[in-house]
Amino acid sequence: MAQEQAVCRYLRTKKMYIPALQEAGAGLEDSRKARYWCLKTMAGFGPDDDFVGIPDCQPQRRCFEGLE
């Protein structure tokens, strides 16, 4: 069984505009085609000035906040 990957509550992609996927973290998938942004900065970089995305927004970053 695959281990579930951590997701920051502030990471978003345009899939959030799909009504069934509007819950925080829903619709996020590791994709090279997806465009991600941080709700804290409303940009493609986080409060720590580093890029955002599934592989980038992980618990080791000081700005990370999990879904729970």
Residue 38's DSSP bridge partners are 11, 43
Can you point out the beta strands (E) in the chain? 11-13, 36-38
User: Which pLDDT tens digits describe the chain residue by residue (68 residues)?
Assistant: 344 678 899 998 887 777 765 555 555 665 667 789 999 999 999 999 999 988 899 999 999 999 87
pLDDT at 18: 73
For the full predicted model, state whether its pTM sits above 0.85. no
Angstrom distance (rounded) from CA 11 to CA 44: 10
